[in-house]
Chain A
Amino acid sequence: MIETRGVSKRYGDVLVVDDVSLSIPRGGFTSIIGPNGAGKSTLLSMISRLTPMSAGSVQVDGMDVTRTPGNVLARRLSILRQDNQTSLRLTVRDLVAFGRFPHSGGRLTAEDLRHVDEAMDYLRLGDYRDRPIDELSGGQRQRAYVAMVMCQDTEYVLLDEPLNNIDMRFAVDMMQLLRRAADEKGKTVVVVLHDINFASCYSDHIIAMRQGRPAYQGSPQEIIRDEVLRDLYEMDIQVHEVNGQRVCTYYR
């Protein structure tokens, strides 16, 4: 379980995340949604110790993220942010293999290699294994980074807007894959999403943030509703039920 207690982040006079106390249960698929500047990404990066907190504490399975040694936490929780460096001259396979660093400290064992191959198969990267990552398209590169995080084989997988810059087909692919990781491998997947329809169709649990605080939390049935979304985004959003999926239209 991930638990935040009174977590805040302040940049100068601006309070980006405001005294957030929430818990994300173990297992399942949790999405964090909300308008721009709601503090979603900042909260995620504080949970994963990438950004220091101004106040409060975060515990992952009872381990305080700021005090637990980095490599212990790296075997329990992984985080992928949206823009990753692309100027590196590395093959896909080498990048994915870095995911084993917390386990092997840089010396790959047969077990590590098995994980690397499995992660590449899982993200269908087999054909690109020896291609340098700076020569890949945005979607392929994103998949390579997700494969690295999968290869890290952690209980908790945190992703910040993994659907950015990738087309519909890869977006669906990516979401199905994350859903499978939760269902088949029992991982706890936490994703910051901009597309509320993806959040609606794939999540077990949704956290809706506004102005640095979680405004609503619950199942997609509870959150994906006209009045909740209208309040959250301050615009007209109609929710329709199509083939058992709750889909929002808000384009006109």
Chain B
Amino acid sequence: MVLNLWRRPATRVLLLGVLAALCVIGFMTVNVQTDWDFILEYRGNRLLALLLTAVAIGVSTVLFQTITHSRLLTPSLMGFDVLYVLVNTLALLVLGGGALAEWAPALRFALQVVLMVALALLLFRLLFSGSVRSLHLMILLGMLAGILFRELSALGARVLDPSEFGISTSVAQASFSRVNTELLGAAAMALVLGGLLLWRWWRCLDVLSLGRDIAINLGVAHGRVVLGIMAVIAVLVSVATVLVGPTLFFGLLIANLAYWFIGSQRHCWTLPASVLAGIICLVGGQLLLEHLLASTLPLALVIELAGGLLFIALLMRGVRQ
């Protein structure tokens, strides 16, 4: 009886939910010494940013792995995060910081998300149109794309004048421990928008994981749906990147933790589980490092190290098979 209950994905998601809630409560209450108003605003904003990040990266990684049929490929590994950084720099360069710097940050963000969606779809079409068949080649190409985008945006940043440069680095240098809370509202709006878009294809997701041929056989307009989902992913990646900057292995870590812990491939379980795993890693990790261990070790370092080890383990397993 208990064993049966334990095996159910619903029980496991609930368990993750409880754990995530404990992390959130701990994050807000541990070591509170000053007045509550300040804590609520300071920690509350950071908490909100971390939660939004967990949702954006958790959902976008699982979706990306569904449409690419891989447990190894993630948007950040394929260079999509850095693409957003590049878009951010390019927008300042092309439109001129003078005009753009005066725009409301939210409006600037919206413009960049639109640009990001267009470029991400283009990149996805280039990489996943069937011309690259080897997984390892794909990973290599993704990493190369990431390096290219990073160098390009660094080059672009050199040309910017100091005020524009300030705007551009706020994205490039954000991290888990230095979240960018300026755009919380806009990021939340974008997430809701992405969620609404995704709603249309919600029922197709499980079918898509059966592979292209079976999905088409079962009547899913495969090409269109995959591009639509890729657009949603691009929006989510923009949200995550504007909040915490580019990541590398974090998405891979939480998505695979979710698959492993849930033991089911259904998106109604894996998506929430991946988000909750993200919250536990980010909020719980921050709580542990900052307040309990009083360590100055950056959280990103710890998470990326764990994710990187997992990546190598997954790669090795893939090679052996």
Contact = CB atoms under 8 A, between A and B. Distances in A.
Contacts of A79: 213, 217
Contacts, number: 63
Interface of B: 69, 203, 206-207, 209-214, 216-222, 259, 263-265
B218 A102 contact: yes
Contacts of A106: 203, 206-207
A42 interface: no
Contact of B217 (A74, A85, A95): A74
A88 B210 contact: yes
A193 to B, nearest CB: 19
Nearest to A148: B214
Contact of B218 (A45, A98, A107): A98
13 contacts: A49-B216, A70-B216, A70-B221, A85-B210, A88-B210, A89-B263, A90-B265, A98-B207, A98-B218, A105-B203, A106-B207, A149-B217, A152-B218
A164 to B, nearest CB: 15
A70 B264 contact: no
Nearest to B321: A87
A101 interface: yes
Interface string A64-108: 000001111111001111001100111000010011011001110
A172 interface: no
B299 to A, nearest CB: 31
Interface of A: 45, 48-50, 69-75, 78-81, 84-85, 88-90, 95, 98-99, 101-102, 105-107, 148-149, 152
A75 B217 CA distance: 9
A48 B217 contact: yes
Nearest to A72: B219
Q: Which 8 A-B pairs have the closest CB atoms?
A: A74-B219, A71-B219, A106-B203, A102-B219, A70-B219, A101-B218, A85-B211, A70-B221
B206 A84 contact: no
A74 B207 CA distance: 13
A168 B214 CA distance: 26
A69 to B, nearest CB: 8
Contacts of B69: 85
